[in-house]
């Protein structure tokens, strides 16, 4: 492990995104998603299922007040074995003292607060901050005197807290609380939520651990691992790192705690012993795990925490486990859209090479988790393979999760969609042919909000002496190299074209700027240019010798003295690429998909008519690939994308179900492909990423 | 409708199967399946879940005796909303007075009795008949004084009988009882079971019908329609035909009875109104139905009854509905293995053209039902298209349902199977990679037993003046043409080769012999030969002119005088055929399958190694199709089949998940294909019917 290559994201405040593509997405989150979600958290969206978030927080605050006042409080009945607490019966008023909704409902508001905080770092907004303060105050008031903070148990049988870590998400809520608290602290300087998070973390640590008298438990749904590490980084309190490391290392040890706690709880595990539960990544100690398994979001969050821990502790064995799990997830189980988790059963990874298009789960949150994991692997060891996957996830499935108007969301991201089949076929019940307004389990929309709002953390990371450029995003940024500040500007035509320039606007520093060479570029060229060389007659314009230039693992490292006017000129060719899948993927045999730059493309009914399934690309005309694939601007749902025009053939089916083999009767046609993220913005219609060849 | 073309199966006693292929299957049923099932019905199979059949019958008999004696009888609690009645708790003895198992458990024994009866018609067997008499006696003793006969209600709340026709299978049990009773009467001359069936039918008719005071109900699971027609044919009692016609015509009328009865039962339908329930084919009057929908076995049984009714009543509108539903099932929703019902959700038909291979349901019983329906369409209007499908079902999915040793059974018949995936993937939980010993819901094994034991009814039908030869099965048969008996012998190399000869052994009659021209034969030749022509010098050997020969709808009609020594020489070429599916079947695009004669072929791991999914047929070498497909005898699980050797290519995969398109690196190989019915007799291994081309 080369610790000198490790890096951390630039602070969000240090980067201002200026390009129209990402500004638009970030603004959507600010103007559409965040206000809508605030209404949702307060159960004020007409026609939508209530969130119960504010209801639960306020009820918990009253419960705390009653306890302080020594008042009698009747605990409403709870359905302990259900993750969703039954709603009030029709026609009756909700019990103001009862917990409603999913047991992890608290986390919805934390994710919203995190996204708000990131937006406040983009641009101060007193009104938004005041609204968010209401949420923060509600959270703080809901916290119990001992620091406990999970409204499901506060409103129910508090003595049962920490008795069902596997299913009841207390530590998941802790994780999201910590993430929000750190962001809120960074955005506002206020430590109210930070103190709440620290107290809840301490409350958990008092119960859980290897010390005598504690339970050797760990999260049923991971996230606390990476969140506690952030809490440590923000507060400098080492105990939070230790707590994260404990969660990571205790996981999957025998005897399996999830079985133990079930036995303690009621003499038997629900649904029998978990046998370590691969679903929860708890079937073996994490250092012994080799295959990405189980619930995909859980897995991604765990691996992200592991990568953080490996980097911060220099733990080579943990880093090796991260690499193995990365290989399994990214190289054997990843959709070409940057999605992971092929099966809806358990929202989980399937076996290697099982990547069905139509029944795909590919949850938006899992793709977000893949970006988390990729960024952390980049921080651990810069390698453009990680960045390629991170970019693929961000520009495809993550963005696909949200409509271009910010009003509706995909939870599931199929790679082919026949709307009629989705509506009528119970095997496709999880696949929605159009984005939905909101979900009862609203994990994806606020998760999109927080990752989009924190995009700069994925574009740039830095070490003491190196700035890493992972994504090409129009932006201005402040970075410190070897203690000296630099102000730079990235100008780029991305994501639609591959020219870019990174220029020093202010400052002077020695150090390295490392620029990723994307896997999609075949003839990338980069060079450092200094004003001084231009000013010195007889010096070649491209004074590459002034900056020592090396390439390693898909990054070009420019090292030297950086002064105002210095710049790195970047040219990334962006050819249309026709990909095939490994022959071991039975689903995709004989099929191709098209990519250009960061985008995976798809054919949609809106451009190509309803009979997409009858079309295949014309291998003969594609002999002249990619010359005869035209690229044209196309307006899709209010934005202009670069569409691809692919020569194709459309079968003219007869009536017979089975006939003697003969070439199909086909007529030539042209398929118009658009970037995957932009599909389903023109009404319900069929879509396919993979096309027969 | 041309009623002169209509026909009925030859009586089973009139046909003796002599060919080794079918004798083997029929003997397996007699020597393995029937004795095993008797043990199963009596809960005497070690390690197998009890059937409870005899238990329930005996308990019902005691209940009747107690009622006669005026004794108090405590009714055990029943779980009305479950189709499977909970078993005794572990470690406790079963309640001898309680009903256990599926609500339709009675039918298991009826199916067994039907199969036994068919075997007794093949060959008398006093011991087997004595055993079966025990079952018959048990049934008769279980019948209540008013004729009611369903042990679930006899052992429970009898007053709730006929209150849940949709889910509780009383009329399904009536149907199987009637089928068994007719077969038992034909086999033994005994009318004990026949009287029981007639009394139960009358008991049902007293409750159900359009007359005032009756409920306008009809079967939730069809079969009574065709069974009551058989009961009419056997007894001559017209009321049973009327009852069948009532069930057919009442079905799907508004208001939907299944909703009405739910409302009457408890104020609400379970799970909400059925909206006519396409699952039960009850969403519209049957004459208005155009698409094969819902539970595939239910659908096939209904359509079979409709075809019987259309033929026997000369009902053109009903015949037209049958043709439409046939078209939907056979021409848009049929697997190339003669299976139907593509989705495990509801064991049901999916939408047209949705024919997935790996998640296929293709229940054995549904394929049996397809053969029922096809035979009845043939009886209605001889057309070899029906016979082709009937043959396809019988020689592929029906036979696939039973292992070559008769000891294990498939319920679900996939067209591709990856055993590892079946074991680990919940989406494939319904697909078993190996046949199972017995099923809790044991519908398929006894259904195989009864159809295999009655094979002659599918091979031959006859009208007053015409013998129809639908299948080519080595056999001797007695038929009456225009009142004159003929004894004939079919000699054939089927199913492995297409030579056959049908010769008159005894008798003299005028009339027609109609011989099917199978769809799989390209150059079928048939001719009638008489001994007389051989005896008359100067007369050509092939005296085709002596029998007027015409062809219509895939049958060659030979009409004339038939005398001893006359014969029809049949030559059916049996080329290897390479089929493709309609371009509207997305699952099968770019794939082919192979057939020869009645058999659909598949590639199995036992012959081709574990990496079947990496192989595709070699289109280039198959330019010389079918010349370079060798045909070789191969021993599979104790029988010799004709295997096909198909030139193929096997991909050599690299490690990358996605790469720029380039032709796969492939090595030539030869795939060995075997008939589908014979797969999975050499241990667990992968299998594929459709192969990439």
As a three-state string, the secondary structure of B527-547 is: EEECHHHHHCCCCCCCCHHHC
Nearest chain A Cα distance for residue B393, angstroms: 15
Distance of CA B405 to the CA centre of its chain: 20
pLDDT tens digit sequence for A642-683: 999 999 999 999 999 999 999 999 999 999 999 999 999 999
Please tell me the predicted confidence (pLDDT) of residue A382: 97
pLDDT band, very low/low/confident/very high, at B269 (cuts 50, 70, 90):
very low
Q: Distances in Å between the alpha carbon of A621 and those of A575, A581, A616, A648, A669?
A: 18, 21, 12, 8, 11
Nearest of B228, B205, B227, B229 to residue B217 by alpha carbon? B205
Q: Is B649 left (phi over 0), alpha (psi -120 to 50) or beta?
A: beta
Whether B611 has a pLDDT exceeding 50, the answer reads yes
Whether A276 has a pLDDT exceeding 70, the answer reads no
DSSP A304: H
Whether B271 has a pLDDT exceeding 60, the answer reads no
ipTM associated with this complex: 0.93
Please tell me the predicted confidence (pLDDT) of residue B89: 79
**What CA–CA distance (Å, rounded) separates A384 from A515?**
9
Please tell me the predicted confidence (pLDDT) of residue B1: 86
pLDDT band, very low/low/confident/very high, at A72 (cuts 50, 70, 90):
confident
Residues in contact with A637: Cβ distance below 8 Å, sequence separation at least 6, in sequence order? A403, A404, A405, A678, A681, A682
Nearest of A528, A523, A500, A525 to residue A512 by alpha carbon? A528
Please tell me the predicted confidence (pLDDT) of residue B273: 54
pLDDT band, very low/low/confident/very high, at A686 (cuts 50, 70, 90):
very high
Q: Distances in Å between the alpha carbon of B273 and those of B170, B258, B260, B630?
A: 21, 8, 9, 57
* Lowest-confidence segment of B64-68, B81-85, B227-231, B379-383 by average pLDDT: B81-85
Task: Note whether A424 contacts B658, CB cutoff 8 Å.
Answer: no
Please tell me the predicted confidence (pLDDT) of residue B532: 67
pLDDT tens digit sequence for B558-588: 999 999 999 999 999 999 999 999 999 989 9
- The Cβ of residue B5 has, within 10 Å, a number of other Cβ atoms equal to 20
Closest chain A residue to B416 measured between Cα atoms?
Answer: A586
Whether A344 has a pLDDT exceeding 80, the answer reads yes
Structure tokens at A328: 């399994």
Structure tokens at B678: 């014979």
Residue to test with chain B: of A431, A658, A690, most B Cβ within 10 A? A658
Nearest chain A Cα distance for residue B239, angstroms: 40
Residue that the structure tokens 């005897």 belong to: A255
Task: Note whether B661 contacts A693, CB cutoff 8 Å.
Answer: yes
pLDDT band, very low/low/confident/very high, at B48 (cuts 50, 70, 90):
confident
Please tell me the predicted confidence (pLDDT) of residue B571: 96
Whether A534 has a pLDDT exceeding 80, the answer reads no
Phi then psi dihedrals of residue B250, to 5 deg: -75, -30
Please name the helix (run of DSSP H) or strand (run of DSSP E) that holds residue B592, with its range, or none.
strand B591-596
Q: Quick one: what percent of chain A has pLDDT higher than 70?
A: 96
C-alpha Rg value of chain B to the nearest Å: 26
List % helix, strand, coil for chain A (3-state, nearest 5).
40, 20, 40
Helix (H, G, I), strand (E, B) or coil at A312: helix
Closest chain B residue to A595 measured between Cα atoms?
Answer: B660
Of B331, B344, B350, the CB nearest to A657: B331
**What CA–CA distance (Å, rounded) separates A314 from B93?**
62
List % helix, strand, coil for chain B (3-state, nearest 5).
40, 20, 40
Of A425, A592, A658, the CB nearest to B661: A592
What mean pLDDT is predicted for residues B189-209? 98
pLDDT tens digit sequence for B234-254: 999 999 999 999 999 999 999
Please tell me the predicted confidence (pLDDT) of residue A540: 44
**What CA–CA distance (Å, rounded) separates A42 from A54?**
5
Please tell me the predicted confidence (pLDDT) of residue B133: 98
Distance of CA A394 to the CA centre of its chain: 7
Nearest chain A Cα distance for residue B422, angstroms: 11
Of B420, B427, B582, the CB nearest to A653: B582
Burial of A226 (0-12, 13-18, 19+ CB in 10 A): buried
Mean per-residue pLDDT of chain A: 93
Nearest of B675, B112, B684, B686 to residue B435 by alpha carbon? B684
B653 to chain A: which residues are within 8 Å by CB? 582-584
Please tell me the predicted confidence (pLDDT) of residue A45: 86
Please tell me the predicted confidence (pLDDT) of residue B85: 80
Please tell me which residue in B443, B444, B593, B602 is annotated as part of the active site.
B443
A344 to chain B: which residues are within 8 Å by CB? 427
B689 to chain A: which residues are within 8 Å by CB? none
The four Cα atoms B360, B365, B366, B371 give a dihedral, to 10 degrees, of 130
**What CA–CA distance (Å, rounded) separates A207 from A190?**
28
- Do A634 and A643 form a contact (C-beta atoms < 8 A)? yes
A343 to chain B: which residues are within 8 Å by CB? 425-427
- Do A305 and A249 form a contact (C-beta atoms < 8 A)? no
Whether A275 has a pLDDT exceeding 80, the answer reads no
Nearest of B122, B111, B181 to residue B451 by alpha carbon? B111
Whether B538 has a pLDDT exceeding 60, the answer reads no
Please tell me which residue in B114, B261, B347, B392 is annotated as part of the active site.
B347
**What CA–CA distance (Å, rounded) separates B234 from B667?**
62
Strands (E), A493-614: 499-516, 525-529, 548-552, 555-563, 567-571, 576-581, 591-596, 599-604
Of B330, B427, B577, the CB nearest to A343: B427
Q: Distances in Å between the alpha carbon of A4 and those of A311, A314, B249, B352?
A: 11, 11, 82, 61
Sign of CA dihedral A109, A115, A121, A127: negative
- Do B228 and B286 form a contact (C-beta atoms < 8 A)? no
Q: Quick one: what percent of chain B has pLDDT higher than 90?
A: 85
Q: Where are the alpha helices (DSSP H) in A382-434?
A: 384-392, 399-400, 419-424
Burial of B19 (0-12, 13-18, 19+ CB in 10 A): middle
Whether A603 has a pLDDT exceeding 90, the answer reads yes
Task: Note whether B613 contacts A586, CB cutoff 8 Å.
Answer: yes
Nearest chain B Cα distance for residue A340, angstroms: 13
pLDDT tens digit sequence for A227-237: 999 999 999 99
DSSP A587: G
Interface size between A and B, measured as CB pairs under 8 A:
127
> Which residues of A are known catalytic residues?
347, 443
Q: Distances in Å between the alpha carbon of A317 and those of A288, A314, A460, B500, B674?
A: 10, 9, 27, 73, 50
Nearest of B690, B514, B480 to residue B595 by alpha carbon? B690
Task: Note whether B659 contacts A613, CB cutoff 8 Å.
Answer: no
pLDDT band, very low/low/confident/very high, at B540 (cuts 50, 70, 90):
very low
What mean pLDDT is predicted for residues B24-51? 92
B579 to chain A: which residues are within 8 Å by CB? 658-661
B418 to chain A: which residues are within 8 Å by CB? 586
Nearest of B12, B224, B187, B202 to residue B107 by alpha carbon? B224
Nearest chain A Cα distance for residue B132, angstroms: 42
Of B581, B616, B656, the CB nearest to A658: B581
**What CA–CA distance (Å, rounded) separates B673 from A66?**
76
Please tell me the predicted confidence (pLDDT) of residue B138: 98
Q: Distances in Å between the alpha carbon of A68 and those of A63, A71, A140, A200?
A: 9, 8, 15, 19
Whether B275 has a pLDDT exceeding 70, the answer reads no
Task: Note whether B614 contacts A584, CB cutoff 8 Å.
Answer: yes
Nearest of B99, B105, B91 to residue B169 by alpha carbon? B105
Whether A396 has a pLDDT exceeding 70, the answer reads yes
B425 to chain A: which residues are within 8 Å by CB? 343, 345, 350-351, 354
Burial of B384 (0-12, 13-18, 19+ CB in 10 A): buried
Please tell me the predicted confidence (pLDDT) of residue B543: 46
Q: Integer distance in angstroms from the first to the last C-alpha of chain A? A: 43
pLDDT tens digit sequence for A214-265: 999 999 999 999 999 999 999 999 999 999 999 999 999 999 999 899 888 8
Whether B654 has a pLDDT exceeding 60, the answer reads yes
Complete domains list, chain A, with CATH: 464-572 (2.60.40), 576-692 (no CATH)
Whether A129 has a pLDDT exceeding 90, the answer reads yes
Task: Note whether A427 contacts B359, CB cutoff 8 Å.
Answer: yes
Please tell me the predicted confidence (pLDDT) of residue B442: 73
Please tell me the predicted confidence (pLDDT) of residue A62: 96
Residues in contact with B92: Cβ distance below 8 Å, sequence separation at least 6, in sequence order? none
Of B582, B657, B661, the CB nearest to A656: B582
Nearest chain B Cα distance for residue A663, angstroms: 9
Q: Is B586 left (phi over 0), alpha (psi -120 to 50) or beta?
A: alpha
B661 to chain A: which residues are within 8 Å by CB? 578-580, 592, 693
Whether B401 has a pLDDT exceeding 50, the answer reads yes
Please tell me the predicted confidence (pLDDT) of residue B268: 43
pTM for the structure as a whole = 0.93
Q: Quick one: what percent of chain A has pLDDT higher than 90?
A: 84
- Do A614 and A624 form a contact (C-beta atoms < 8 A)? no
pLDDT band, very low/low/confident/very high, at B557 (cuts 50, 70, 90):
very high
Nearest chain B Cα distance for residue A351, angstroms: 8
Closest chain B residue to A582 measured between Cα atoms?
Answer: B657
**What CA–CA distance (Å, rounded) separates A305 from A133?**
29
- Do B279 and B348 form a contact (C-beta atoms < 8 A)? yes
pLDDT tens digit sequence for B589-607: 999 999 999 999 999 999 9
Please tell me the predicted confidence (pLDDT) of residue A273: 54
Sign of CA dihedral A137, A142, A144, A149: negative
């Amino acid at each position: 492990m080369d610790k000198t290559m490790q890096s951390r994201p630039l602070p969000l405040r240090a980067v201002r995104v200026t390009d129209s593509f990402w500004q638009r997405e970030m603004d959507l989150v600010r103007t559409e998603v965040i206000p809508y979600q605030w209404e949702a958290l307060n159960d004020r969206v007409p026609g939508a299922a209530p969130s119960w978030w504010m209801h639960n927080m306020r009820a918990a605050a009253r419960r705390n007040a009653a306890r302080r006042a020594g008042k009698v409080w009747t605990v409403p009945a709870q359905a302990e074995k259900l993750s969703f607490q039954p709603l009030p019966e029709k026609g009756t008023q909700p019990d103001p003292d009862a917990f409603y909704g999913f047991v992890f409902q608290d986390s919805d508001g934390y994710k919203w607060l995190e996204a708000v905080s990131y937006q406040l770092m983009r641009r101060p907004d007193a009104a938004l901050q005041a609204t968010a303060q209401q949420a923060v105050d509600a959270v703080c008031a809901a916290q119990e005197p001992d620091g406990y903070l999970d409204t499901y148990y506060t409103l129910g049988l508090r003595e049962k807290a920490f008795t069902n870590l596997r299913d009841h998400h207390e530590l998941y809520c802790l994780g999201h609380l910590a993430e929000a608290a750190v962001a809120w602290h960074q955005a506002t300087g206020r430590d109210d939520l930070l103190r709440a998070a620290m107290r809840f973390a301490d409350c958990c640590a008092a119960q859980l651990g290897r010390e005598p008298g504690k339970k050797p438990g760990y999260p049923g749904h991971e996230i606390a691992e990476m969140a506690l590490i952030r809490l440590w980084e923000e507060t400098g309190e080492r105990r939070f790192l230790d707590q994260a490391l404990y969660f990571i290392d205790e996981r999957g040890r025998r005897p399996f705690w999830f079985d133990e706690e079930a036995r303690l709880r009621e003499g038997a595990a629900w649904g029998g012993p978990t046998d370590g539960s691969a679903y929860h990544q708890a079937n073996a100690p994490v250092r012994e795990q080799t295959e990405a398994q189980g619930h995909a979001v859980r897995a991604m969050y765990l691996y992200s925490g592991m990568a953080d821990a490996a980097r911060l502790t220099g733990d080579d064995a943990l880093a090796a486990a991260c690499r193995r799990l990365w290989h399994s997830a990214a190289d054997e189980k990843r959709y070409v859209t940057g999605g992971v988790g092929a099966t809806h059963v358990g929202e989980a990874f399937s076996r290697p090479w099982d990547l069905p298009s139509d029944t795909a789960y590919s949850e938006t949150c899992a793709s977000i988790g893949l970006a988390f994991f990729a960024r952390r692997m980049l921080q651990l060891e810069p390698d453009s393979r990680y960045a390629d996957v991170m970019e693929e996830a961000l520009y495809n499935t993550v963005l696909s999760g949200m409509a271009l108007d910010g009003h509706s969301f995909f939870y599931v991201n199929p790679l082919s969609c026949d709307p009629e089949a989705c509506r009528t076929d119970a095997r496709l019940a999880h696949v929605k042919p159009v984005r939905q307004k909101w979900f009862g389990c609203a994990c994806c929309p606020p998760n999109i909000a927080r990752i989009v709002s924190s995009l700069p953390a994925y574009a740039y990371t830095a070490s003491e002496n190196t700035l890493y450029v992972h994504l090409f995003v129009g932006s201005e940024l402040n970075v410190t190299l070897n203690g000296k500040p630099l102000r730079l500007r990235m100008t780029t035509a991305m994501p639609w074209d591959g020219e870019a320039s990174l220029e020093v606007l202010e400052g002077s520093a020695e150090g390295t700027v490392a620029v990723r060479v994307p896997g999609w570029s075949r003839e990338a060229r980069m060079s450092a240019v200094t004003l001084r060389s231009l000013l010195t007659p007889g010096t070649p314009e491209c004074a590459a010798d002034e900056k020592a230039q090396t390439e390693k693992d898909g990054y070009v490292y420019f090292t030297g003295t950086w002064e105002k006017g210095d710049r790195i000129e970047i040219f990334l060719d962006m050819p249309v690429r026709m990909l095939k899948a490994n022959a071991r993927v039975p689903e995709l045999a004989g099929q191709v998909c098209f990519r250009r730059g960061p985008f995976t493309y798809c054919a949609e009914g809106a451009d190509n008519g309803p009979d997409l399934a009858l079309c295949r690309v014309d291998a003969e005309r594609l002999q002249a690939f990619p010359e005869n694939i035209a690229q044209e601007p196309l307006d899709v749902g209010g934005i202009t994308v670069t569409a691809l025009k692919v020569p194709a053939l459309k079968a003219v089916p007869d009536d017979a179900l089975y006939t003697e083999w003969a070439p199909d009767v086909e007529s030539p046609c042209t398929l118009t492909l658009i970037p995957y993220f932009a599909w389903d913005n023109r009404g319900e219609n069929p879509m396919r990423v993979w096309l027969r060849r």
